Amino acid sequence: MSITLLPAPRAAGIVLRPLHPAFGVEVLGLDLGMPGNAPVPDLLHDALMGHGLLLLRGQSSLPERLARGLAVLEARLLDQAPHQGAPRLPLSVGAVPDLPPPGWAERPSWHTDRSYAARPALACLVRAAAPAGTIAFADQRHALAALPPALRARLDGLRAVHESPLDPALRAEHPLVRRHPVSGEALLYANPAFTTRILNLPAAESGRLLRRLFAAATEEAATWRHDWRAGDVLIWDNRRLLHTESHGPALEALRIEGDQPTGAAALDMPWVMAG
């Protein structure tokens, strides 16, 4: 794969190396622990919006100030989006798994964090202090684009129920196709761990359609797998990517809570401004 230089002068000495043809880059030449790196949140936010997933190796820490900087940048952007409500982006510190321990849950582990909440998680930052197994990611922009046109058109306007396997009272309804609030891209928004049924469809039809969407969401062409090494930091856009479970004592996590999913039709409506 080729190495692409970041375009901005502020990124001198830093390069991006693609991880997958559709998404993800390794950020080379950046130490998150170095003091005085004022442009780092802006730089990483731009890369995250463009590629969905960032990998940084050999990191000695996962600075909370970085996550807070990313949250501030997102809040500013969401505040400018007419289809968004007032942004609320609190930071959750510590690894709080969405799923039961491995081997306990009956459902597959592919998920997007807290999709059973009205405002699911926006982004995740995780660092491995030691080798910690494998985590996989799947790009939902690619997954949606790969669907047959007739099936893709059918999804517009459909909504699905997302429920927590730990507490059925934690549930929300979201569009099957959501718009990314920053890029405006259409994304498939359903996952095997939390999405339980499609509204306004018979149960059998809902089940068949969900199985087809889950297969598309996690197909090999849309996935990338990473074996954790000590010092690895992964940052991903929780709106665009599905991921498999990855938690344990070797992993530390910061999570930026997020925005309310908006369907594709919402951005196609004309906006009227009084004044």
Domain-by-domain residue ranges, the chain?
Answer: 4-262
What is the 3-state composition of the chain as percent helix, strand, coil, each rounded to the nearest 5?
25, 25, 50
- Domain 4-262 CATH class label: alpha beta
Distance from C-alpha of 143 to C-alpha of 152, rounded to nearest angstrom: 10
Q: Which residue has the higher pLDDT, 185 or 90?
A: 185
Confidence of residue 5 (pLDDT cuts 50, 70, 90): very low
CA separation for the pair 58, 36 (Å, rounded): 19
Question: At residue 216, what are phi and psi to the nearest 5 degrees?
Answer: -65, -40
Cβ 62 vs Cβ 91: under 8 Å: no
In the chain, pLDDT over 70 holds for what percent of residues? Answer: 79
pLDDT band (50, 70, 90) for residue 101: low
pTM: 0.86
